[in-house]
Amino acid sequence: MEQSLPSAIRVVVADDHPLFRGGVSSSLSANGDIVVVGQAGNAEEAIRVVHEEQPDVLLLDAGMPGGGLQAASRIATECPGTRIIMLTVSDDEHTVSRAMSGGASGYILKGVSAGELRRVVRSVYAGDVYVPPSLADALRRSPPALTAADPLASLSKRERQVLALLARGLSNQQIALELGRSEKSVKAHVTHILRKLQVRSRVEAALLAAKLGLGQDA
């Protein structure tokens, strides 16, 4: 654990392989704007460390002992201020969908370069959602589940525009610029979208919109 600077992004790294965990921690801390404030070797320990440290970002191994996906879902509910990035070897579409629907804001494959890992941490911390392009394309190609009613029917025209841009991975600030609206207005629209779609995160809303093809022509 390191002493964090006031402006540093505070990160917890959770992986059951000590050597890999240490390497990730060292790579993240290389430039000084990211500081690792805790580490964990299993799911329960990850939950405990996140509760104790309240980090900005959690890097969590999906396949760690105790269940990384289950830990992500619990942390997303109990510590909503912590953004979760799944760091894993699995490129299975079902695993990606479960992780993102469970509250993760990022999904990155092990073997990524140190520079790319730091970039994703900064991006997710800033409010963006990250899935590797190849996996994002696969998720969009997956046929949407059949439902009795159109899940988007309750949205206004403006809310559909916001959701379409959100599905393309744009941040609130980028959506505001795209639509010529204030960021505060966009945040309000996102809140209404989550409530109307009965989802608990913008990630779940984006996945639903992408599966329905809403963001492809926006």
Instruction: Determine the pLDDT at residue 150.
Output: 66
Say how far apart CA 87 and CA 109 lie, in whole Å: 6
Instruction: Determine the pLDDT at residue 31.
Output: 85
Domain 9-139, what fold? Answer: Rossmann fold (3.40.50)
User: For 196, how many CA atoms within 13 A lie in the half-sphere containing its CB?
Assistant: 16
Where do the structural domains in the chain lie, given as residue ranges?
9-139, 143-211
Average pLDDT estimate for 99-126: 88
Q: What is the CA radius of gyration of the chain?
A: 17
Q: Looking at the predicted structure, is the pLDDT value of residue 14 above 90?
A: yes
Q: Looking at the DSSP assignment, which residues form a beta bridge with residue 101?
A: none
Which helix (H) or strand (E) segment holds residue 52: the answer is helix 43-53
Give Cβ neighbours of residue 125 (< 8 Å, ≥ 6 apart). Answer: 9, 56, 57, 83
Could you check whether 9-139 and 143-211 share the same CATH topology? no
Instruction: Determine the pLDDT at residue 37.
Output: 97
CATH of 143-211, one of 3.30.70.920, 1.10.10.10, 3.50.50.60, 2.40.50.140: 1.10.10.10
Kindly report, residue by residue over 151-199, the tens digit of the pLDDT.
777 788 888 899 989 888 888 889 999 999 888 888 878 877 887 787 7
